[in-house]
């Protein structure tokens, strides 16, 4: 779905497909037919954006095989879907039985991360709608912090190499595709403030900027800092878990084996993963927040009020600070039992509900749907 901001810019709203398990082109095409197309039809929208997640082997296949890429393009068109952003954070197997810290590998110290990102850039250039002004690729914030005891200089060099290639691709295709660094708790770059400093240090403002993930922002109890010359090329519309007062007895329902769920309390103390044993070290008098993406239209024990404020910051003021909004709730399959979709129909309904909630928020901020 597209919206017109009062400043005249077009805001693209999509949902991220990293919630769907697929490791090859066949699986990616199946998820578009099984989920994305039905979501669009259930909403009655003429066009639905999808923030594609392409595992590295599938990305290499698509980057090297024009017939395969044409098949993906035709499938998107048949389902009335568009792509302006890709999720380049997970490398592969994001819906494996156990993901945890593997999601941060390979990091920006490894050549594989650079090659994967360039494959994505090549693919996105060829999938962009004809009237889209730019594309974006979100990526991990260098990597997990313990992997960088000597600083980020080698990773800086890799990212600068990508920026050079992105500029060359823009010259070839006529439009920019930009890299968006996504801060996450526990990584080298945990906060938007640290991200702005890191991206500013790189010194390539036209090619590398920020991806603001609203769940990560809320988990860190962070207000958006002064961006200076740094741009937000993409925002992930997401909701964190909030824990207050005497509510902690149910927190164990969210401790699950697949994903990392970093936990923070209001004074900044935190742990790298939600574990009921470690929670005993937290201050029961403070609010806690957990990196557990919850459905956007869920109001109980979530950071939805902070998300509403974040959307206002991004697109609710005189000038839009980003034009790419990607709904990213990848945790549907690990929600506590009663909340977990039990069928394809349930998941389609859940995704549609999130997109409808977001569209309602955008309309309340003065954005007009483009039909």
Domain of 339, CATH number, reads 3.20.20.150
> Which tens digits make up the pLDDT trace of 107-164?
999 999 999 999 999 999 999 999 999 999 999 999 999 999 999 999 999 999 999 9
pLDDT of residue 73: 98
Count of C-beta atoms within a 10 Å radius of residue 305? 11
pLDDT of residue 245: 65
On whether residue 62 sits in a domain, the answer given is yes
Report the domain count for the chain: 1
pLDDT of residue 312: 97
On whether residue 277 sits in a domain, the answer given is no
Beta-strand (E) ranges in the chain? 2-4, 10-16, 48-51, 81-82, 85-87, 135-139, 177-181, 208-213, 232-237, 239-243, 263-265, 270-271, 288-294, 324-327, 368-370
pLDDT of residue 246: 67
Token digits of residue 155: 């990773």
The residue assigned the tokens 């609203």 is 214
CA distance 175 to 32: 26
CA distance 297 to 351: 10
pLDDT of residue 62: 98
Radius of gyration for the chain, computed over Cα atoms and rounded to the nearest angstrom: 19
Which residues in the chain show pLDDT less than 70? 245-246
On whether residue 256 sits in a domain, the answer given is no
CA 227 to chain centroid, in Å, comes to 19
On whether residue 182 sits in a domain, the answer given is yes
On whether residue 272 sits in a domain, the answer given is no
On whether residue 202 sits in a domain, the answer given is yes
Residue 343 to residues 45, 336, 351, Cα–Cα distance (Å): 23, 15, 13
The domain in which residue 24 lies consists of: 2-246+292-370
> Which tens digits make up the pLDDT trace of 225-258?
899 999 999 999 999 999 986 677 789 899 999 9
pLDDT of residue 192: 97
On whether residue 258 sits in a domain, the answer given is no
Cis status of the peptide bond prior to 106, with omega within 30 of 0: yes
On whether residue 205 sits in a domain, the answer given is yes
pLDDT of residue 275: 85
């Amino acid at each position: 779905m597209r919206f017109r901001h009062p400043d005249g810019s077009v805001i693209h709203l999509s949902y991220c497909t990293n919630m769907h398990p697929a490791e090859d082109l066949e699986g990616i095409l199946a998820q578009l037919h099984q989920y994305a197309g039905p979501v669009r039809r259930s909403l009655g929208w003429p066009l639905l954006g999808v923030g594609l997640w392409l595992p590295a082997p599938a990305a290499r296949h698509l980057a090297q095989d024009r017939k395969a890429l044409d098949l993906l393009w035709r499938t998107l068109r048949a389902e009335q879907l568009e792509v302006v952003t890709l999720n380049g954070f997970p490398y592969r197997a994001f819906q494996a039985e156990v993901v945890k810290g593997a999601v941060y590998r390979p990091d920006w110290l490894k050549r594989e991360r650079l090659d994967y990102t360039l494959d994505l850039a090549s693919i996105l250039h060829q999938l962009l709608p004809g009237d889209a002004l730019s594309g974006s690729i979100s990526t991990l914030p260098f990597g997990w912090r313990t992997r960088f005891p000597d600083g980020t200089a080698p990773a800086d060099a890799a990212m600068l190499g990508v920026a050079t290639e992105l500029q060359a691709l823009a010259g070839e295709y006529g439009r920019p595709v930009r890299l968006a660094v996504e801060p996450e708790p526990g990584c080298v770059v945990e906060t938007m403030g640290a991200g702005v400093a890191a991206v500013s240090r790189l010194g390539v403002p036209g090619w590398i900027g920020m991806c603001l993930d609203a769940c990560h922002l809320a988990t860190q109890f962070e207000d958006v800092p002064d961006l200076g010359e740094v741009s937000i090329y993409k925002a992930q519309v997401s909701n964190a878990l909030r824990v207050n007062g005497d509510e902690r007895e149910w927190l164990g329902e969210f401790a699950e084996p697949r994903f990392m769920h970093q936990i923070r309390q209001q004074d900044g103390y935190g742990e790298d993963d939600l574990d009921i044993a470690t929670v005993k070290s937290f201050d029961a008098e403070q609010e806690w927040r957990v990196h557990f993406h919850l459905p956007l239209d869920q109001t109980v024990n979530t950071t939805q009020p902070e998300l509403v404020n974040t959307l206002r910051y991004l697109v609710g003021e005189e000038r839009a600070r980003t034009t790419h909004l990607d709904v990213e709730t990848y945790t549907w399959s690990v929600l506590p039992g009663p909340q977990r979709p039990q069928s394809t129909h349930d998941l389609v309904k859940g995704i549609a509900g999130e997109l409808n909630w977001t569209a309602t928020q955008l309309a309340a901020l003065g954005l007009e749907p483009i039909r």
